[in-house]
C-alpha cells in the first residue's frame, strides 16, 4: 500500500525551497501525526546534525516513520556534487552522502541523490559526467545495502540538471549500473515539465520507482495546481508501487495549509 509523507527542512540555506515544514522535527512530527501522515521526509544539513535518539523517541511517540532523507545540503551548503571535475570534491560529496545514508539507515529511510548529481559542462562532457555519476551510484548503492534500503536517484527538470530528466531515461541509466540497489524518484513536479505523459512514464518505470514526490504542477501541495492526479495515482497503484508519496511542496500559503491540502489529496487518490 502506498504511504503518505511530508517534508521538513532543517537547512536555512534552502529557505524558499519546496519543503512543507521548517520549524524542526518535533513540530513536523506533531503536525504530521495530527493530520494522519505515515512518515516525515527529512532534509538535514548533514548526517551528523540530527540527534538520532531524539528522532527515534519522536517517531515512537507519534507512531511515524522516516520516508527518506535528502542529501541536497551537500550542494546547497558546501557546493559539492558527484560529477564535479575536482576528484577531491567528488570524494567529499560521496563522504557527505555516506553519512546521510548512515543517518537515514537508522530509521530504514533511503537517501535521495537529487541536486548532488550535479551537471555536465566545462571540462566534463555529458558522457564523462554520467560515467562519474555511475561510479558513485555503484559505490553508494551497495553501501546502502547494509541497512537493507535502496539508494534513490532523482531525475530532475532541465533547469536543475542536464543529465537524466525523464523516468524512461532513468530506467535505461539504472540498467547500465552494476548495482541493482538504486531506485528512481518520480518527482511529479519535475515530471510535469519533462514527461509527455505522466501515467505512461510511471508505467515505464514499473519496478524501478522507489520514492515519489507527491506535488502539484506549480510545486504547491497536491490539489493546489492543475495536475491530473487520478490517472497518476491509478498508474502507481497498477504498477504495484508501495513506497511513499511524499509532499515535497512549497509552504504556500503556509505550511499547515500545504500539509492539510496534501493529506486531503492523498486520501482522495490513494485511500478511496
Ligand atoms: C530538487 O528540485 C528536488 O526535487 C529534490 O528532491 C532534490 O534534491
Ligand atoms: Mn524532488
Residue-wise pLDDT for 61-87, tens only, equals: 999 999 999 999 999 999 999 999 999
Nearest Cα neighbor of 100 from 86, 120, 114 is: 114
115 pocket-lining for ligand 1 (C-beta < 6 Å): yes
Model pLDDT for residues 202-235, shown as the tens digit of each residue:
999 999 999 999 999 999 999 999 999 999 999 9
Q: What is the DSSP letter of 124?
A: B
| pLDDT, tens only, 10-51 | 999 999 999 999 999 999 999 999 999 999 999 999 999 999
Residue 189, number of CB atoms within 10 A of its CB: 22
Q: How far is the CA of 195 from the centre of ligand 1 (A)?
A: 16
**Pocket of ligand 1 contains residue 41 by CB under 6 Å:** no
- Residue ranges with CB less than 5 Å from ion ligand 2: 187, 213, 248
pLDDT of residue 272: 85
Closest to 74 in 3D by CA, of 103, 51, 53: 103
Residue 183 pLDDT > 90: yes
Mean pLDDT of the chain: 98
Query: What domains are there in the chain, each with its CATH number?
Result: 3-270 (3.20.20.150)
What angle separates helix 52-62 from helix 25-35, to the nearest 10 degrees?
A: 20
Q: Is the CB of 17 under 6 A from ligand 1?
A: no
Is-catalytic flag, 34?
Answer: no
Beta bridge partners of 184: 153, 209
Which residue CA neighbors atom 3 of ligand 1 most closely?
114
Amino acid at each position: 500500500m502506498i504511504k503518505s509523507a511530508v517534508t521538513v527542512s532543517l537547512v536555512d540555506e534552502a529557505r524558499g525551497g519546496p519543503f512543507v515544514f521548517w520549524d524542526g522535527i518535533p513540530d513536523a512530527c506533531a503536525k504530521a501525526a495530527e493530520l494522519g501522515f505515515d512518515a516525515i521526509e527529512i532534509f538535514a544539513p548533514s548526517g551528523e546534525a540530527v540527534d538520532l535518539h531524539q528522532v527515534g523517541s519522536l517517531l515512537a511517540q507519534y507512531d511515524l516513520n522516516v520516508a527518506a532523507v535528502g542529501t541536497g545540503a551537500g550542494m546547497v551548503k558546501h557546493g559539492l556534487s558527484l560529477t564535479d571535475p575536482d576528484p577531491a570534491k567528488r570524494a567529499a560529496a560521496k563522504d557527505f552522502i555516506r553519512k546521510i545514508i548512515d543517518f537515514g539507515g537508522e530509521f530504514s529511510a533511503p537517501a535521495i541523490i537529487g541536486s548532488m548529481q550535479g551537471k555536465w559542462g566545462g571540462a566534463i562532457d555529458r558522457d564523462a559526467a554520467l560515467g562519474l555519476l555511475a561510479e558513485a551510484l555503484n559505490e553508494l548503492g551497495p553501501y546502502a545495502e547494509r541497512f537493507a534500503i535502496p539508494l534513490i536517484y532523482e531525475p530532475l527538470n532541465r533547469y536543475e540538471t542536464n543529465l537524466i530528466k525523464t523516468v524512461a531515461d532513468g530506467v535505461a541509466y539504472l540498467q547500465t549500473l552494476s548495482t541493482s540497489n538504486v531506485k528512481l524518484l518520480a518527482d511529479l513536479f519535475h515530471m510535469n515539465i519533462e514527461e509527455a505523459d505522466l501515467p505512461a512514464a510511471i508505467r515505464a518505470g514499473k519496478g524501478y520507482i522507489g520514492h515519489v514526490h507527491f506535488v502539484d504542477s506549480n510545486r504547491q501541495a497536491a490539489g493546489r495546481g492543475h495536475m491530473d492526479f487520478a490517472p497518476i495515482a491509478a498508474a502507481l497503484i497498477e504498477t504495484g508501487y508501495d513506497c511513499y508519496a511524499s509532499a515535497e511542496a512549497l509552504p504556500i500559503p503556509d505550511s499547515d495549509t500545504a500539509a492539510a491540502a496534501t493529506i486531503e489529496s492523498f486520501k482522495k487518490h490513494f485511500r478511496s
